[in-house]
Structure 1
């Protein structure tokens, strides 16, 4: 047993009162430990990898104490393992505060989405607002009885606060309902309006069908302890900081988590005023570019806007987390994978493709989210489309130009193709047995699931099934009661594909906080399956991609309810009511904006309400729904070789799995993360991802390894403070400056960033006036 003792204590950082670690044990080790446990007659056998707290010599045997907590240190550091079922949850106070903040958040997010630049109010903004409102209610409102319920049931507690947070998350936490972009593109750009009834059916069906599918999959995405949902750990830390705030020293630090969070929040709030407004140099510390500002190659390799951002730092938290989320959330394995993806794909392969002029890339920026014509200008879709009928004019297309993309944009489509097949194959190989075991209910529930089951009634599966049937009926009504040109079988195909990918996408997201998006594959499928019908393309994409995405996000909030030990029935009702209400609110604000804002969606709208999301959606509608993928990705077309990524994505997980079967110490490379983690490039940049992985490795690898107690106590408080401080100041800047069209200060600290990289003119072979590039026939 000395070997076991060494295994337990090797590199195990000490906390204040016990040793704590998370180590993977081989079968022989677990067998030896179980033998020891059985002889001690004191502890339960170890059935899964767990946290070993102490090893005690007793009559010649080593007894292992297994703490009744999550086997994952990330969860133990953020989520309390005890519950107080007496705390009131479903209170009038919670309902009122939840619906007020849901109304404000949903309405403001919809309005902000119409503006350029746009802004999304995150759940953190309203969650921090809920606390003082709840405390004020606690002290001011009399404790009268209304409908048999107390109006003021005592202190505003953790569970009420968590439910309000969940309501905000499902209603506007990810921004506006995706269907509003469809309506905006259809009503304002397509100039077609089927009325309020159509709009309401579309929004309700696309939102609620995701909730129903997430609930039906909760056995696999919510209940297992391995479904960590890392983003919930930050939310849980923030909530417990507000209400529990237990304090103990950690590596010499004695400040409480609440005070630490408060200091970080204030500093983050104040600091972002500099890189975000007054001194943008701090946001783009591209020192190589500033030394050689006129050198095109330097701009392309080291630039942070349309370049590759090679090894360039930043002091702007928005640049680090703005596209991908906080790097303090995923584990170190994810960070190493992201960094490997950046280095291999974007810092090695992409420059080779660009400078070899593959896809005629040298005539365009190396990294840009714009699409171009053969003359080097932005692609003008009006030249190939009959504006009245929105039908494709193939003759005009032959006379005008094929579609050209920047190198990173083209690569991003290939990565999306690879991530689709990699997700399925990886899940079968590495998680297939876990899914089967969970289906057979063989996996032992962790402490949080046991506490919830002990005190509260579970939601019957048929509740979600009934909700699915209602949503499905609304979906059919949406596509058949109005002339959408989408067949019912197309809707069924979209939902089947969304369901097939639900577990693979959900499992990967729940463990890595990296989302595998199905937006590109949905466009590709419908472009081949139902070509030339743009509105059908938008609906198909929504029912496939957004249904899957919504189901995953709803499951994430169900897990937060489990972490906070909330009644599953209360969680279900809160999610459903907040979702339905937010649909009405967003549709109301959208229809109000049509009449109240002059020249809405015009590119030169006086107040900046140019509808950037709707415009992007409309362009995608033209590219995928009108032109179609056949003219870009079929044999003989410019980007046909990107389809090989489907095969590469499927093969790589098999290779990794086979190597690990023979060499168990070979690192587990999460291939879906490798392909999909960089999915926001462009418009994000390698510059953003490099700083993201750098910060993530500093805290999730080096600090976690050397100062585990500090990391365990403060890591998620640090993340919450940085995120919330940034969100609040961005909101202030947006309301006070952007909406009033105030200009940024003109001085060196802001003008120094205006390099060829920033202006999008860092092009190796710019097309001369009157010239063109590309094939002779297309």
Structure 2
């Protein structure tokens, strides 16, 4: 029996951690004995420093930190500073402290003994644990290699939720508002399920080639099992880029009867193979580097550890004794109750367009300040966190404050540009609503595709010449052009800025495979060193997956009447591979990525215009490089944080994705049967509100780009294609500015008068330099594109305020409190909101309260003006011209098919 195991009174083995003395006897790190006790005191009991995460043993923590002497520690800190000099997320106060310690005891004003303790502690924490407070809040600085992880009961619980969540979330995804089982609720229920299985399952097993396989482990339900289970269902229940299959099969859309279950399964599985293979290939670039934090993982890990792992006893932080789970429960209850106020009882404070109440019919006021169809320039835009983006799909605690602030500032700038274009009637935008993602005809009505599309989804040229091309709103055009700028800018900037990391990634992949070296070669941080204990996933495993996705995708487009040329898969792979690199790099740092959907609308419209089904196929396959590759890359980082064996996560995720595809495609058949029975599915008169809003959006873009054709769109809006050139030029200019900025500073100092240069340096150069030092342009520009589809500052203003409070003020002022409670407060708010949302949806949409609502001024005033009319695509700044239509004359309609 291992020295880490002990038989308890129930006959179940439990993990026991060795005492400090026992650990020191096994591994003498040479540090003074009092250092260990001092460090334990600083991180436990009554303190205001950092807090240990749930389940962290203070003795093992102390031993894990002190592994270097003061000289090694100073050198280690210097290396960390050098490696993180371009890291925009690293705390500058920590940077200053590191520089002081590196300089020696005299610079710090410390005695040598105290300096030695401080430098060894900081270097040990950063090198053996993590340089980021966010990561230290949810991970352990050591690993229990014998802790159960990939067990039968973990698979059983995980696959149960894959089945349930895929079926439920897929079927109700078309509903508006949506309904589904959130991951946090499944996390909560996994704990009693896992502990129940640990009690009732028989404790027997069998051996194969000397390895023991057990139905039920002798250990209780562990944190690693909970983390492994969570990653199985959370990474395998998405359905976003498969919406195209719904469009392909539903009668209201393309209604392709040849798209049977087998075809849909082939598309879905090949899609997953593409994504997993791509993620594995990019591991060295987007998983192993320390700065690739993937902040979106951290709240999930925090909740999971709090649910399973025990608290540190007698801990008081900043005067608070409350346990993590108690804080989580209190916040969940409070916000679950509060959720009813803005969403049922007082709807006016949800999209709080109070400024438009002054003059509801004032068009300019509604456009600028409105929260429904306006741009939302409103200092108090919402009193519902689930609306303004702090919860759910919003970033909130899942992205660094610096990233969200940059995006918010650029979002304001983008809104100002949209207003200027709109009120100047640029590209006929003033004849349409300002912030809709709808497509319109030249009379300002929703574009009727049936007038220009034949029954076989080809273009009816005579009908088109009579009806005219589709027109786009100002915000929609701005976002489309902005995405083109963003693509080329991010490619230039990321490939130059991260050129050494890219070289290390791809050269390392080839050399390490050829020489059969570890895939971790070149990475020495604490998490990577701990993962070396487990067998690696070979490069060729992921290469085979990617090859399978490539072959099956060609088969799917060639063996079925998709009208998609087989060679287009080569173009898709090439473009997707290039764009996935900046996407995953930016996502790993700031939890925000490039919207690749636009490029998969535009390229097919260039390659084969007039073929909407072909455009739909590439749109689905292109999603693999964004959603699936990015999602699995995040899961690989999650596995590192959770110390889950790499091959376990590979096996679990692969099988779960296959199950997910099988269930998802089956649910499309169920929905097709449901549509045939009622005849209203995906129509706006569906009594259960199953209107398929996202599927309608995909269908519209498919027709607009696939049938109308990108060439025609570029002729209608000739400025749009130049955005690609603008992005590349801006990328080069930014890189040149970063590279030659110091030389320009020296040049100006030599050429300018001393007094003039001093003023210029003090009031212009230094302030601008300090601001730009925090700016990551590829992240900031992304914020400028968060418009259209009635998205505006309403979804951001109060969110950035809450983010400032949590991620900046609280984190720096009360670090220990933030580390212990912040993620659990966020999770409690999200869980309370989602549970109340489920109850409201089930009761008032499917239950006894169906069709009922509380009618009073507070639920109706926000809908009484121009703002809500714009939300419903009604209203424009300018009336139609006297001729009865706007835009091109009929003889000038583009016909480049």
User: TM-score, structure 2 length as denominator?
Assistant: 0.78
CA–CA distance in structure 1, aligned partners of residues 333 and 203 of structure 2 = 35
List aligned pairs for 1:106-505, cutoff 5 A.
106-145=166-205, 148-151=213-216, 153-172=218-237, 175-176=238-239, 178-188=241-251, 189-194=253-258, 195-247=260-312, 248-310=315-377, 311-321=379-389, 324-346=393-415, 348-386=416-454, 388-438=455-505, 439-440=507-508, 443-454=522-533, 456-505=534-583
CA–CA distance in structure 1, aligned partners of residues 846 and 708 of structure 2 = 36
1:756 Cα shift? 1.8
2:147 is aligned with 1:87: yes
Contact 1:169–1:557 (CA<8 Å) still a contact in 2?
no
CA–CA distance in structure 2, aligned partners of residues 235 and 141 of structure 1 = 28
Q: Which runs of 5+ in 2 are unaligned?
A: 1-41, 52-67, 85-93, 208-212, 509-519, 743-768
1:471 Cα shift? 2.3
1:581 Cα shift? 0.3
Q: Which residue of 2 aligns with 1:772?
A: 885
2:685 is aligned with 1:604: yes
Change in Cα spacing, 1:744 to 1:768, as seen in structure 2 (3 Å) is farther
Contact 2:328–2:828 (CA<8 Å) still a contact in 1?
yes
CA–CA distance in structure 2, aligned partners of residues 678 and 730 of structure 1 = 30
CA–CA distance in structure 2, aligned partners of residues 192 and 380 of structure 1 = 20
1:276 Cα shift? 2.0
Change in Cα spacing, 1:293 to 1:231, as seen in structure 2 (3 Å) is same
Change in Cα spacing, 1:302 to 1:77, as seen in structure 2 (3 Å) is same
DSSP 3-state at the match of 1:385:
coil
TM-superposition CA deviations, 1:345-385 (whole Å, max 9, x none): 11x21111111111222222221121111111111111111
CA–CA distance in structure 1, aligned partners of residues 353 and 674 of structure 2 = 43
DSSP 3-state at the match of 1:640:
coil
Contact 2:286–2:585 (CA<8 Å) still a contact in 1?
yes
Change in Cα spacing, 1:86 to 1:677, as seen in structure 2 (3 Å) is same
Structure 1 stretch displaced more, 99-108 or 234-243: 234-243
TM-superposition CA deviations, 1:665-706 (whole Å, max 9, x none): 432422222232354422222211223323222322233233
TM-superposition CA deviations, 1:230-269 (whole Å, max 9, x none): 0111111111111225454333333222221221222222
Change in Cα spacing, 1:654 to 1:249, as seen in structure 2 (3 Å) is farther
Q: Which residue of 2 aligns with 1:758?
A: 868
CA–CA distance in structure 1, aligned partners of residues 522 and 605 of structure 2 = 42
Out of 700, 704, 720, the position equivalent to 2:807 is 700
List aligned pairs for 1:636-647, cutoff 5 A.
637=716, 639-647=717-725
DSSP 3-state at the match of 2:236:
helix
Change in Cα spacing, 1:763 to 1:40, as seen in structure 2 (3 Å) is same
TM-superposition CA deviations, 1:21-52 (whole Å, max 9, x none): 9xxxxxxxxxxxxxxx9874666533123866
Structure 1 stretch displaced more, 526-535 or 148-157: 148-157
CA–CA distance in structure 2, aligned partners of residues 643 and 620 of structure 1 = 18
1:573 Cα shift? 0.6
1:120 Cα shift? 4.6
CA–CA distance in structure 2, aligned partners of residues 95 and 544 of structure 1 = 30
TM-superposition CA deviations, 1:650-673 (whole Å, max 9, x none): 233333333334256432422222
DSSP 3-state at the match of 1:609:
coil
TM-superposition CA deviations, 1:292-335 (whole Å, max 9, x none): 22221111111011101113331111112268523222212212
DSSP 3-state at the match of 1:624:
helix
CA–CA distance in structure 2, aligned partners of residues 43 and 675 of structure 1 = 38
Out of 848, 852, 855, the position equivalent to 1:743 is 852
1:495 Cα shift? 1.3
Q: Which residue of 1 aligns with 2:668?
A: 590
Contact 1:224–1:443 (CA<8 Å) still a contact in 2?
no
Q: Which residue of 2 aligns with 1:29?
A: none
Q: Which runs of 5+ in 1 are unaligned?
A: 1-13, 22-36
Contact 1:170–1:575 (CA<8 Å) still a contact in 2?
yes
TM-superposition CA deviations, 1:469-496 (whole Å, max 9, x none): 2222221221111111212210111012
Contact 2:411–2:783 (CA<8 Å) still a contact in 1?
no
TM-superposition CA deviations, 1:583-603 (whole Å, max 9, x none): 111111211221244213334
1:745 Cα shift? 1.8
CA–CA distance in structure 1, aligned partners of residues 224 and 484 of structure 2 = 41
2:793 is aligned with 1:729: no
1:746 Cα shift? 1.5
DSSP 3-state at the match of 1:478:
helix
Change in Cα spacing, 1:733 to 1:61, as seen in structure 2 (3 Å) is closer
CA–CA distance in structure 1, aligned partners of residues 144 and 616 of structure 2 = 47
CA–CA distance in structure 2, aligned partners of residues 382 and 533 of structure 1 = 15
Contact 2:203–2:215 (CA<8 Å) still a contact in 1?
yes
CA–CA distance in structure 1, aligned partners of residues 368 and 549 of structure 2 = 49
Aligned-residue RMSD, C-alpha:
2.6
CA–CA distance in structure 1, aligned partners of residues 247 and 420 of structure 2 = 40
DSSP 3-state at the match of 2:80:
coil
Q: Which residue of 2 aligns with 1:631?
A: 712
DSSP 3-state at the match of 2:317:
coil
Contact 2:241–2:627 (CA<8 Å) still a contact in 1?
no
Out of 780, 794, 809, the position equivalent to 1:687 is 794
Contact 2:226–2:308 (CA<8 Å) still a contact in 1?
no
Change in Cα spacing, 1:41 to 1:141, as seen in structure 2 (3 Å) is closer
Change in Cα spacing, 1:40 to 1:585, as seen in structure 2 (3 Å) is closer
Greater radius of gyration (CA): 2
User: TM-score, structure 1 length as denominator?
Assistant: 0.90
DSSP 3-state at the match of 1:391:
coil
Structure 1 stretch displaced more, 713-722 or 194-203: 713-722
Paired residues, what number?
Answer: 742
